Amino acid sequence: MSDSTDAVTPEAAAGELRLRVGAFEGPLDLLLHLCRTEEIDLAALPVRTITDQYLAHLEAMEFRDLETAGAYLVMAATLIYLKSKLLVPPDETDEQLDDEALLLKQELEERLREYARVKVQGTWLAQREAEQALIWGRSSSTLPTLEDVPLEDLSVHWLERSLKRLIEEQQRLRPRQIEPNPPSVLERMTEILTLLRDTWSLLFSSMAGGERRRSEVVVSLLAVLELCRQGKIRTQQTELFGDIVIERRTPDPEEGVALLGPSEDTPSAESS
Amino acid sequence: MPNPADVVEAMLFASDVPLEAERIREVLDLENAAAARSLVEELIARYEAEPRGLAIVEVGGGYRMVTRPELAPWLVRLARARTKVRLSRPALETLAIIAYKQPVSRPELDAVRGVNSEAVLDNLMERRLVRIGGRKEAPGRPFLYETTREFLVAFGLRDLNDLPKVEGELVIPDLAAEAAATAEAHGQAETEQDPGPGGADLPPRG
């Protein structure tokens, strides 16, 4: 046991770092995180401190795509611009420009405040969602539909209404049919781990998605493979083409879920 | 003639969408929607007087018969692996922006979040929590997004007014409670519309 602790510690530390960096949703999220850990009032943003910390975080980050990187860099540029304004002593002739910088700073503060509000609202919605997940209602009804009207009562208006309804129905269905958007592997992984919190094992067929879309099955399979690789689950298939049985592996499932959880819960060992 | 409240009960059982008071009025040929509402109230009182597996809730502009939350564990067992897929944090935040600012265009969404919202938005659209409500009369005529009735049902809201007001607080969420406590101690709390206990930003809906 004693040597295993040694082996685990550096790995855990590295994983923690990656988690913290990857968990930000965007530049505003990162800024808000910095303000939170430093207990900074959003109404009086200390530009010097926040810029330095932001840039420090930026260096540690890896970007998935250019667009995300761009969003972070625009914020960095704004912060550096503001900081440069602070370093230069204000000059009488320069007043116009300082107003500009002040305006920019106020705008940034307002955006941060708005984003903080959105976070609160999002948290509230999450709480509601969790509450609502506990109740079930009828999802489909066998009530006869409007088509069953007696023929003699028909009029052109009915036809028009039916047609309109048909078209609306088509429009409503269209995005689903044309561009099916499979859930992400990460989402499916979280889902599997969540399911495994309540039960010891589950069948692959039961979680491959109700619609039996090929993409759903692929995503599920990838999720299962990834979880296997991470050692979070164990799988077995007793016969050829048989159903795959998925079992929880870690004695402490909370650990696994925390990996994919929101960043609020993540430890924020501070680097200043 | 059966008891009208029994009819309402049957209608609630048979319906797969929230049943509006107006619809109940229409079916039962009642005087007005208020009469329909009082029938539902009667039914709700009956359900509360003698607790059973079902409850009647007001959601998405109508009434709905649902299972009681405390029975969820058994239903999960009944359904085996069927649980509801939860939304991710980015999705919830995007949904929050749309819910509060609707109708809202994607550029506006992106501006608030500071990142591209396209993928998240597609996800919300596919789950029918959000729909396109029109186009904005602005350069490029971007689509305007709004929440759907499914959104109200999924989050157990009667209407959009059920969303809590989050007003210009200058404190960061996690520090809110702390800051409120300090402010209280110093007696310099900015008086807001409702001095909630413990400074919680969002009371669970009343």
Q: Give the per-residue pLDDT at B64.
A: 92
Phi-psi category of B29—alpha, beta or left, where left has phi over 0 and alpha has psi -120 to 50?
left
ipTM of the complex: 0.72
Assess if residue B42 is contained within a domain: yes
Residues B15 and B70 placed together within one structural domain of the fold: yes
Q: Does B69 lie in the same domain as B21?
A: yes
pLDDT for the residue numbered B145: 92
Q: Which of B44, B74, B104 is the last residue of a domain?
A: B74
Q: How far is B68 from chain A (nearest CA, A)?
A: 6
> What local confidence, expressed as pLDDT, does residue B96 receive?
93
In a domain, B83, yes or no: no
Instruction: Answer whether A105's CB lies under 8 Å from A50's CB.
Output: no
Q: Please indicate, yes or no, whether residues B8 and B67 belong to a single structural domain of this protein.
A: yes
Would you say B181 and B81 are in contact if contact means Cβ atoms under 8 Å apart? no
Tell me the sheet residues that pair with B146. Answer: B131
Domain regions of chain A by residue span: 2-130, 185-260
Whether the Cβ atoms of residue B91 and residue B117 lie closer than 8 Å to each other? no
Check A175 against B125: CB less than 8 A apart.
yes
- Interface membership of B166 toward A (CB under 8 Å): yes
In tens, the pLDDT along B106-115 reads 999 998 998 8
Decide if pLDDT at A114 tops 60: yes
Claim to verify: residue B13 and residue B64 sit in the same structural domain: yes
Considering only CB atoms, which chain A residues are within 8 Å of B55?
Answer: 135
Q: Structurally, how many domains does chain B consist of?
A: 3
Looking at residue A204, what is its pLDDT? 82
**In Å, how far is A11's CA from the nearest CA of chain B?**
26
Interface of B with A in 102-121 (CB under 8 A): 111-116
In this predicted structure, what is the pLDDT of residue B94? Answer: 94
Same domain, B32 and B65: yes
Q: Please write the tens of the pLDDT for every residue from A159-201.
A: 777 888 888 888 777 655 555 566 788 888 888 888 888 888 8
Neighboring chain A residues of B9 at a CB cutoff of 8 Å? none
Q: Which CATH architecture has domain A185-260?
A: Orthogonal Bundle (1.10)
Q: Could you tell me if B18 and B69 lie in one domain?
A: yes
Alpha carbon distance A195, A227 (integer Å): 13
CA-only gyration radius of chain A, Å: 27
Residues from chain A that touch B157, judged by Cβ atoms under 8 A, are 128
Task: With beta carbons less than 8 A apart as the criterion, state whether B135 and B143 touch.
Answer: yes
Answer yes or no: do B131 and B152 share one domain.
yes
Q: What is the pLDDT of residue A100?
A: 79
Are A180 and A215 in contact by the 8 Å Cβ rule? The answer is yes
Residue B105 half-sphere exposure toward CB, CA atoms < 13 A: 12
Chain B residues inside the 8 Å CB shell of A126: 86-87, 89, 92
Lowest mean pLDDT across A87-91, A205-209, A225-229, B155-159 = A87-91
Q: Which of A25, A122, A134 sits opposite B69 (nearest CB)?
A: A134
How close is the nearest chain B Cα to the Cα of A195, in Å?
7
SS3 percent helix, strand, coil of chain A, rounded to 5, is 65, 5, 30
| Cβ atoms within 10 Å of B144's Cβ, excluding its own | 20
Q: Indicate the residue type of A7.
A: A
pLDDT of residue A155: 60
Domain boundary among B74, B99, B121: B74
Is residue A193 within 8 Å of A252, Cβ to Cβ?
Answer: no
Question: For residue B152, what is the domain's CATH number?
Answer: 1.10.10.10
How many CB pairs below 8 Å do chains A and B form together?
Answer: 177
**A111 vs B contacts (CB less than 8 Å):** 111-112, 114
Q: Which pLDDT does position B25 carry in this prediction?
A: 92
Whether A122 shows a pLDDT value over 80: the answer reads yes
Torsion of CA A21, A24, A26, A32, to 10 degrees: -110
Q: Which residues of A217-231 are buried (b: 16+ CB within 10 A; e: fewer)?
A: bebbeebbebbeeee
More confident residue, A198 or A258: A198
Report how far residue A13's alpha carbon sits from residue A267's, in angstroms, rounded to the nearest whole number: 11
Q: Does B187 touch chain A (CB under 8 A)?
A: no
Q: Flag whether pLDDT at A124 surpasses 70.
A: yes
Residue contact B15–A39, C-beta within 8 A: no
Write out chain A residues lying below 8 Å of B174, CB-based: 36, 264
Query: Does residue B48 fall inside a structural domain?
Result: yes
A126-169 pLDDT per residue, tens? 989 888 888 888 776 666 655 554 555 456 666 777 888 888 88
Q: How many CB atoms lie within 10 A of CB A253?
A: 17
Percent of chain B clearing pLDDT 90 (strictly above): 31
Residue A23 has pLDDT above 50, yes or no: yes
Tens of pLDDT along chain B (206 residues) come to 788 889 999 999 988 889 999 999 999 999 888 999 999 999 999 998 988 899 999 998 899 999 998 898 888 888 775 566 788 888 999 999 999 998 999 999 998 998 888 888 988 988 889 988 888 888 888 889 999 988 999 898 988 988 888 765 434 444 444 444 444 444 433 333 333 333 334 444 43
| Residue A254, both tokens | 């909370």
Give the residue from chain A lying closest to B164, CA to CA.
Answer: A121
Q: Quick one: which H or E segment has residue A172?
A: helix A156-178
pLDDT in tens, A48-61: 888 888 888 888 77
In this prediction, residue A252 has a pLDDT band, given cuts at 50, 70 and 90, of: low
B9 and B66 assigned to the same domain: yes
From A75, A115, A132, residue closest to B112, measured CB to CB = A115
Phi and psi at residue B61, in whole multiples of 5°?
80, 10
Residues of chain B contacting residue A40, judged by C-beta atoms under 8 Å apart: 172
A190 Cβ contact list (under 8 Å, min separation 6): A257, A260
Assess if residue B82 is contained within a domain. Answer: no
- Take residue A97 and report the two structure tokens written for it: 């420009």
For chain B positions 6-45, those within 8 Å of chain A (CB to CB) are 13-16
Residues 6+ apart with CB under 8 A from A99: none
In tens, the pLDDT along A74-102 reads 888 888 888 787 776 665 554 455 777 78
Nearest residue to A243 (alpha-carbon basis) of A269, A266, A220: A220
CA atoms in the 13 A half-sphere facing the CB of A142:
0
pLDDT band at A13 (very low <50, low <70, confident <90, very high): very low
- Give Cα separations from A59 to A194, A259, B151, B161 (angstroms): 33, 22, 39, 43
Residue B155 sits at the vertex; the CA angle it makes with B151 and B158, to the nearest 5 degrees, is 85
Domain containing B62 equals 4-74
- The share of chain A scoring above pLDDT 90, in percent, equals 0
Å between A167 CA and nearest CA of chain B: 16
Report chain A's mean pLDDT, rounded to a whole number.
72
